[in-house]
Amino acid sequence: MSEQRLPPGQYVPREFPALHYGPVPKFRQQRWDLCVYGATDSATTHRWDWSAFDELPRVEVVADFHCVTKFTIPDNAWSGVSSALMVELAPPADAATHVMVWAEYGYSANLRMDDFLRSDVLLATHHGVERISAERGYPVRLVVPHLYGWKSVKWVRAIEYLTADRRGFWEERGYHNRADPWSEQRFSYQEEPGEGPPLS
């Protein structure tokens, strides 16, 4: 792959690790749901059980995946429900500016609404033609190709609309609030003063 395709400081490894904090959750279909809550237009929570979510129309995206630990996985073919469709089905209030995407076990990542709504952002159910593997986020993971990998939350269970930005799991632990790999936004100390919400 050409140099220009790789963000600065990234390399393509020979093998592709699956990376996450904590154990791989077990999918229990009867208990699984996906909620959209917080600053919704209706001030109510939208909820899908597994069969309802799995019936939503899917789109495909092919994208490189950039981890902040410097490996890049080229050409991942994902398919799933576009973030735009989720927002259409569960409209945010006008005041919603950011989202927090929540996973099993409390992992989270925050995104600006415009980053969440990019056309290549998916709640992915498939990697290639197969269901996503357990380690890579089965049954549903977020894919945000234009930001570092920690924003691509695996095992997603909820989307919270926010009226003010708030740091997610890694953003609270010293990683960059926005995480653009093309400008190497790796760590919170690189943020401009006032750029993100304060570290707690």
Ligand X SMILES: Nc1nc2c(c(=O)[nH]1)N[C@H]1C(S)=C(S)[C@@H](COP(=O)(O)O)O[C@H]1N2
Name the site residues for ligand X (rule: CB under 6 A): 18-21, 67, 103, 107, 136, 149-150, 152-155
- Residues 61-100, mask of contacts with Mo ion (x by CB under 5 A): ------x---------------------------------
**Binding residues with Mo ion: total (CB under 5 A):** 3
| Contact of 166 with 110, CB cutoff 8 Å | yes
161 binds, among Mo ion, ligand X, none (CB under 5 to 8 A by kind): none
* Nearer CB in complex with ligand X: 41/118: 118
Q: Quick one: which H or E segment has residue 161?
A: strand 156-162
Rounded to an integer, what distance in angstroms lies between the CA atom of residue 194 and that of residue 198? 8
* Residue 163: CB minimum distance to Mo ion, A: 28
Name which position in 149, 152, 156, 177 contacts Mo ion (CB under 5 A).
149
CB of 78 to ligand X, least distance (A): 10
21's contact among Mo ion, ligand X, none, with CB below 5 to 8 A by partner kind, is ligand X
